[in-house]
A = this chain, B = another copy of it.
Amino acid sequence: MTVTDLDTYRKFGSPLEGHPAVKFKYVDVATGSLGQGLSIGVGMALDIRQECQMSNVKCQMWPKVYVLMGDSETSEGSVWEAIELASYYKLGNLVGIIDVNRLGQSGPTMLGWDVGEYKKRVEAFGWQTHIIDGHDLGATAKSFDLLPDGTDKPQMIIAKTIKGKGVSFLENKEDWHGKALSQEQFEEAVKELGKIDRAVKGEIARPVSSIKYEVSRKDTKYKILNTRYKLGEMVATRKAYGEVITALGAINSDIVCLDAEVKNSTYALIFKEKFPERFFEMFIAEQNMVSAALGFSKRGKIPFVSTFAAFLTRALDQIRMASYSNADVKFVGSHAGVSIGEDGPSQMGLEDISMFRSIFGSYVLCPGDAVSCRELVEVAANTKGLFYIRTARPATPVIYARGEKFKIGGSKVIRSSKADKLTIVACGIALIESIKAADELAKLGIKVRLVDAYSVKPIDEAGIKKAARETNNLLITVEDHYAQGGLGDAVLNVFANSSQSHSRSAQSSTHAHSGSVARGVRIYKLAVSKMPMSGKSEELLDYEQISQKAIVKKVLEICK
């Protein structure tokens, strides 16, 4: 990096942004939202440990992961999730450094300079700690030398420092967070800093790289899968996920699974039973799980992260930051929608599609049966990027034959005739209800087109436009999700033609804003809109008017 590079700092187009961004080539993960670094480090250290153990590398030789933290950010719960898990997994190859300068952005931290308090708390969680004077560069260097190799205790260096040290008008003063100096102040500061002992200036020894790790992603193609679902067989998509990821895991050893203590519900358990060494129980700590997955992905692994769709909301900030780090992570949210039944609203993922659609550059897939789930999990494993796959709780019939192909941005026409009065666009459980509705309507002499919009983002604009054109420009969308931000909104956008896909480059911008005509298209949305509750799956689908019955009623209403 040159001085000229530095001059671009915080300027438009510079790789040196206001907070570290991955477009600066030495940065692997974006930062700026606090308390996520240690979790990313946990993922990297876990992966290194796993690789080393499998290659019989002695633990004394394991490469270490270092994470620098501010004291103020250690108040984030996610830091303690990382601390507890690092200790549980005995990550002796993880080193944290807390810069204790006592000052946050707007005032003193909770613990101030009480490094003893930090030590007590971190040690209580099973870490080894080292208190140092962060301004004594010799002592700092020495503390790194003295870090034990081959321990099973993660290591925390607690460095007491003074913010603005060496400049009288900055030193240990509040209200200087993120502020630049005036030219006059700058000159004064340089003058004062001149007095500082610069004895330790000089070359920094480069570490000897004794072990080389491959971090590039294998582009495995998956040809054979053991999972064979028969038409009409009752299989929950969540169960299909578990079976498929296990089959894929047998082909590509880079696939790892992380789950937040619900593996028997998400069916990640099947993978764990086959590949215990590549399954990581992350316990009930979703934030740490998401950032750790980012750590795995930055080492070339393909992490699949599962929990209830509802509980992925716990980690939206981490998911958001993962997208800014170009994460290659696959999120799988189970128990989506009111169709879960008796467990009630706290367990129902009803804002998950909305949440993932708003993530920069994401893909959102919502399979309606086991076969499409199988194919879409494979697509996600084969494609770099941040994916969300939505699975459901109830067992539902297999509707696709083996060999049917599914792709990002695709859709499937399930029912079709020349006499179709309108088109129903649905996905997931709502697709199953829509099939039943379409078949009942057919008996009543009313033909409808039915489109499986399994790829919610990007959505199949051409396919949906074609269906609309061929069916009187009349559409009904059905989804087991709140009316905001879900499939219905994705379909509405097809006709506003505001692009739903994000662009990482400045060049491909034209598409995003090209408006288009919605002349004459009528769209009716069926979605969850009443306060959800406990009950049987069918009762709740009826109550929210997204069931077979409600769809039939709506179509009759429109067609009369």
Cβ of A509 to closest chain B Cβ, rounded Å = 6
A425 vs B50: C-alpha distance when bound (angstroms)? 54
Q: A77, B288: Cβ atoms under 8 Å? A: yes
- Asked whether any CB of chain B lies closer than 8 Å to the CB of A58, the reply is no
**A523 cross-chain contacts in B, Cβ below 8 A:** 496, 515, 518
A320 vs B355: C-alpha distance when bound (angstroms)? 12
- Residues from 512 to 537 in A contacting B, C-beta threshold 8 Å: 512-513, 515-527, 529-536
Q: B521, A518: Cβ atoms under 8 Å? A: yes
Q: B77, A77: Cβ atoms under 8 Å? A: yes
- Asked whether any CB of chain B lies closer than 8 Å to the CB of A264, the reply is yes
**A317 cross-chain contacts in B, Cβ below 8 A:** 286, 310-311, 313-314
Q: List 6 A-B contacts (CB under 8 A).
A: A11-B534, A286-B317, A489-B492, A496-B524, A509-B529, A519-B522
- Asked whether any CB of chain B lies closer than 8 Å to the CB of A148, the reply is no
- Asked whether any CB of chain B lies closer than 8 Å to the CB of A277, the reply is no
- Asked whether any CB of chain B lies closer than 8 Å to the CB of A31, the reply is yes
Contact among B358, B488, B505, B531 with A355 in the assembled complex (CB-CB below 8 Å): B358
**A10 cross-chain contacts in B, Cβ below 8 A:** 342, 534
Q: A485, B485: Cβ atoms under 8 Å? A: yes
Q: A355, B512: Cβ atoms under 8 Å? A: no
Known contacts A11-B534, A351-B359, A517-B522; 18 additional CB pairs below 8 A are A18-B347, A73-B284, A77-B78, A104-B283, A324-B345, A350-B360, A354-B355, A355-B358, A485-B485, A492-B493, A496-B524, A498-B525, A498-B527, A513-B524, A513-B550, A515-B522, A515-B558, A519-B520
Contact among B286, B346, B489, B512 with A545 in the assembled complex (CB-CB below 8 Å): B512
Instruction: Known A106-B262, A351-B320; judge A32-B529 contact (CB<8 A).
Output: no
Cβ of A24 to closest chain B Cβ, rounded Å = 11
- Asked whether any CB of chain B lies closer than 8 Å to the CB of A76, the reply is yes
Q: B509, A545: Cβ atoms under 8 Å? A: yes
Q: A540, B12: Cβ atoms under 8 Å? A: yes
Per assembly, the copies of the chain total: 2
Q: B522, A355: Cβ atoms under 8 Å? A: no
Contact among B81, B284, B502, B525 with A530 in the assembled complex (CB-CB below 8 Å): B502
Contact among B30, B313, B502, B530 with A529 in the assembled complex (CB-CB below 8 Å): B502
- Asked whether any CB of chain B lies closer than 8 Å to the CB of A232, the reply is no
**A531 cross-chain contacts in B, Cβ below 8 A:** 360-361, 502-505
- Asked whether any CB of chain B lies closer than 8 Å to the CB of A402, the reply is no
Q: A77, B287: Cβ atoms under 8 Å? A: yes
Q: A109, B283: Cβ atoms under 8 Å? A: yes
Q: B12, A106: Cβ atoms under 8 Å? A: no
**A357 cross-chain contacts in B, Cβ below 8 A:** 354, 484-485
Contact among B79, B351, B476 with A358 in the assembled complex (CB-CB below 8 Å): B351
**A314 cross-chain contacts in B, Cβ below 8 A:** 33, 287, 316-317
Cβ of A15 to closest chain B Cβ, rounded Å = 9
Q: A545, B261: Cβ atoms under 8 Å? A: no
- Residues from 317 to 376 in A contacting B, C-beta threshold 8 Å: 317, 320-321, 324, 342-347, 350-351, 354-355, 357-361
- Asked whether any CB of chain B lies closer than 8 Å to the CB of A204, the reply is no
Q: B107, A76: Cβ atoms under 8 Å? A: no
**A529 cross-chain contacts in B, Cβ below 8 A:** 498-499, 502-503, 509, 512-513
A492 vs B492: C-alpha distance when bound (angstroms)? 7
- Asked whether any CB of chain B lies closer than 8 Å to the CB of A80, the reply is yes
- Sorted nearest first, the 7 A-B pairs with minimum C-beta distance are A77-B77, A32-B346, A12-B535, A515-B524, A498-B525, A124-B124, A351-B358
Cβ of A91 to closest chain B Cβ, rounded Å = 13
Cβ of A137 to closest chain B Cβ, rounded Å = 28
Q: A283, B515: Cβ atoms under 8 Å? A: no
- Asked whether any CB of chain B lies closer than 8 Å to the CB of A543, the reply is yes
- Asked whether any CB of chain B lies closer than 8 Å to the CB of A500, the reply is yes
Instruction: Known A75-B283, A358-B351, A513-B529; judge A534-B498 contact (CB<8 A).
Output: no
Contact among B31, B85, B351, B535 with A13 in the assembled complex (CB-CB below 8 Å): B535
Cβ of A479 to closest chain B Cβ, rounded Å = 11
